[in-house]
């Protein structure tokens, strides 16, 4: 019990010693603390880039200006088909015929039959597939039409537009090879 009383005495003395110090601090009306100015982050300065003089602007050329309106556009597609470059061509009836998908120079004439009514010919495409053709039939990539079949050649008329958009007309003769 003595310890209990001793602890109370120590506590009360400490309490009464600290209490006046707290009250003294509360009596004064101190001005409110000054607000700190807002901290602004330094603005990042853009690095100074040294301007480099172009060697192209320093020279004056005496060359004549080139008019590119008459030149072929190297970036324009060579094939202007809307179906795609690998799509097979169709004849006027909508049928897919392989004979329309090769250039005319790739065909070889293997035989010509001269008949009473009309002539016909046997031609081979580049893959070796044979076709029997008659006058009026379509052949080749450029919408060629067989106009005449004689005993020595096949005449094909082509009318198409080239990559510049100009209309081209040509007549090609596919010759029957001479006998050896």
Structure tokens at 119: 């002539």
- The CATH architecture of the domain made up of 92-175 is Roll (2.30)
Write out pLDDT tens, residues 43-98. 767 777 667 666 665 555 566 777 777 777 777 776 655 544 456 777 677 777 78
Q: Which residue has the higher pLDDT, 95 or 22?
A: 95
Residue 51 DSSP SS3: coil
pLDDT band for position 149 (cuts 50, 70, 90)? very high
Minimum mean pLDDT range among 8-17, 54-63, 111-120, 158-167: 54-63
- What does DSSP assign to residue 94? S
pLDDT confidence of residue 83: 46
Whether 144 and 158 have beta carbons less than 8 Å apart is answered as yes
What residue spans define the domains of the chain? Answer: 92-175
CA distance 74 to 97: 32
pLDDT confidence of residue 21: 67
Residue 55 DSSP SS3: coil
Q: Which residue has the higher pLDDT, 64 or 8?
A: 8
Write out pLDDT tens, residues 108-121. 999 999 987 889 99
CA distance 152 to 132: 16
């Amino acid at each position: 019990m003595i310890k209990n009383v001793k602890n109370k005495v120590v506590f009360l003395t400490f309490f009464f010693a600290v209490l006046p110090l707290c009250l003294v601090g509360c009596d004064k009306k101190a001005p409110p603390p000054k607000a700190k100015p807002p901290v602004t982050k330094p603005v990042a300065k853009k690095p100074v880039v040294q301007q480099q003089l172009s060697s192209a602007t320093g020279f004056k050329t005496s060359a004549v200006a080139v008019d590119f309106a008459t030149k072929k556009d190297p970036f324009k597609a060579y094939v202007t088909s809307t179906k795609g470059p690998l799509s097979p061509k169709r004849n006027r009836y909508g049928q897919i015929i392989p004979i329309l998908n090769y250039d005319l120079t790739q065909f070889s004439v293997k035989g010509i039959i001269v008949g009473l009514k009309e002539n016909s010919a046997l031609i081979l495409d580049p893959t070796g597939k044979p076709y029997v053709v008659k006058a009026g039939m379509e052949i080749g990539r450029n919408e060629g039409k067989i106009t005449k079949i004689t005993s020595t050649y096949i005449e094909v008329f082509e009318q198409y537009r080239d990559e510049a958009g100009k209309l081209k007309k040509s007549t090609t003769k596919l010759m029957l090879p001479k006998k050896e």
